[in-house]
Structure 1
Amino acid sequence: GGDIADMYATGTAGDFSYGQKFWADEYRLNAKIFEYPKPVVSFLQGFTMGGGVGIGCHGSHRIVGDTSQIAMPEVGIGLVPDVGGTLMLALAPERLGEYLGTTASRMNASDAIFAGFADIYIPEGKWPVLIAQLETTGDTACLTPETPAEIGPIPSQMPEITKHFRGVGLSDVLTTLENDDSEFAQKTLKQLRRNSPLSMACTFEILNRLRGSNISLAKALDLEYR
Structure 2
Amino acid sequence: MSDILVERTGALGRIRLNRPKALNALTHGMVGAIDAALDRFGADPGVAAILLTGEGARGLCAGGDLRLLYESAGPGFAEDFWRDEYRLDARIARLEKPFVAIMDGITMGGGVGLSGHARHRVVTERSRIAMPETGIGYLPDVGGTWLLPRAPGEIGTYLGLTGAQMGAADAIFAGFADALVPAAALPGLVDALAALPQGAKQEAGHAAVRAAIHARAVTPEPTPLGEARALIDACFAFDRVADILAALAADGSEFATRTRTTLLEKSPSSLVLTLRLLRLGRTSARLEDCLEREFHASLALLAEGDFREGIRAAVIDKDKTPRWSPTTLDAVDLERIEAWLAPRAAPVFPVPADASRPAPASRGAR
Give the structure-1-normalised TM-score. 0.94
Structure 2 match to 1:160: 231
Instruction: Say whether 1:5 aligns with 2:5.
Output: no
Instruction: Give how far 1:215 is off.
Output: 2.5
Higher relative contact order (CA 8 A, sep 6+): 1
Q: Does structure 2 conserve the Cα–Cα contact (< 8 Å) formed by 1:50 and 1:71?
A: yes
Instruction: Say whether 1:100 aligns with 2:172.
Output: no
Instruction: Say whether 1:171 aligns with 2:238.
Output: no
CA RMSD of aligned residues (A): 1.2
Q: Does structure 1 conserve the Cα–Cα contact (< 8 Å) formed by 2:173 and 2:223?
A: no
CA distance in 1, matches of 2:105, 2:178: 16
Q: What SS does the aligned partner of 2:166 have?
A: coil
Q: Does structure 2 conserve the Cα–Cα contact (< 8 Å) formed by 1:72 and 1:100?
A: yes
Instruction: Give how far 1:179 is off.
Output: 2.6
Structure 1 match to 2:107: 48
Per-residue displacement from partner, 1:79-136 (whole Å, max 9, x unpaired)?
A: 1000011111011111111100000000010100000000011111111111122123
The runs of at least 4 aligned residues of structure 1 exceeding 6 Å deviation read none
Q: What SS does the aligned partner of 2:195 have?
A: helix
Structure 2 match to 1:225: 295
Q: Which letter maps to 1:131?
A: V
Q: Which letter maps to 1:207?
A: L
Structure 1 match to 2:254: 183
Q: Which runs of 5+ in 2 are unaligned?
A: 1-62, 198-207, 297-366
Q: What SS does the aligned partner of 1:179 have?
A: helix
CA distance in 2, matches of 1:215, 1:81: 18
Among 150, 175, 186, which residue is 1:91 paired with?
150
Among 45, 49, 58, which residue is 2:117 paired with?
58
Q: Which letter maps to 2:241?
A: L
Q: What SS does the aligned partner of 2:289 have?
A: helix
Structure 2 match to 1:193: 264
Tell me which structure has the larger Cα radius of gyration: 2
Q: What SS does the aligned partner of 1:48 have?
A: strand
CA distance in 1, matches of 2:194, 2:267: 43
CA distance in 1, matches of 2:244, 2:124: 32
Q: Which runs of 5+ in 1 are unaligned?
A: none
Structure 2 match to 1:70: 129
Instruction: Give how far 1:165 is off.
Output: 0.3
Instruction: Give how far 1:29 is off.
Output: 0.6
Instruction: Give how far 1:216 is off.
Output: 1.6
Structure 2 match to 1:209: 280
Instruction: Give how far 1:180 is off.
Output: 2.9
Instruction: Give how far 1:152 is off.
Output: 3.0
Q: Which letter maps to 2:287?
A: L
Q: What SS does the aligned partner of 1:143 have?
A: helix
% identity of equivalent residues: 42
Instruction: Give how far 1:4 is off.
Output: 1.6
Instruction: Give how far 1:25 is off.
Output: 0.7
Q: Does structure 2 conserve the Cα–Cα contact (< 8 Å) formed by 1:45 and 1:67?
A: yes
Instruction: Give how far 1:169 is off.
Output: 1.6
Structure 2 match to 1:22: 81
Q: What SS does the aligned partner of 1:2 have?
A: coil
CA distance in 1, matches of 2:104, 2:265: 26
Q: Which letter maps to 1:31?
A: A
Structure 1 match to 2:219: 147
Instruction: Give how far 1:62 is off.
Output: 0.1
Give the structure-2-normalised TM-score. 0.59
Structure 2 match to 1:113: 172
Q: Does structure 2 conserve the Cα–Cα contact (< 8 Å) formed by 1:107 and 1:152?
A: no
